[in-house]
Amino acid sequence: MENCIFCKIIKQEIPSYKIYEDEKVYAFLDISQATKGHTLVIPKQHVSDIFEYDEVLAADVFSRIPKIARSIEEAFPEMQGLNILNNNRELAYQSVFHSHVHLVPRYSKEDDFSIHFGNHQSEYSAEELQQIQHTIVKQVKNID
């Protein structure tokens, strides 16, 4: 894509701090470094978000993540955990519209990174959860 910053990084038109590269995937340090070692893993094929992946592209991208994650862990033995994030579309905090997966090393509860999942369990009855389940399962069967 012509004006995509990540496509320009892949083509080395814009410099990056490359961590990993093969024929399908490019991984590099996020310039914001939410925590030390914060890495982005992107497909070389331009897709905007997860909704544009097919099974082959998903396998290509997501199969590389454990190797890159282990490399970060080996590089920073003080790391105590790792968040893997994939934001899709603007409402979900995607800011660059070339699909990417964040690998965010965690060092302590005070490392200036947090995720909050609200607990809304009491707001849904078993029947409502079952309806949600059936609605999604029906679509899973229709998509292929």
DSSP the chain: -TT-HHHHHHTTSS---EEEE-SSEEEEE-TT-SSTT-EEEEESS--SSGGG--HHHHHHHHTTHHHHHHHHHHH-TT--EEEEE---SGGGT--SSS--EEEEEE--TTSS--------GGG--HHHHHHHHHHHHHHHHH--
**Is 100 known to be catalytic?**
yes
Of 100, 116, 120, 134, the catalytic one is: 100
Residues involved in catalysis: 100
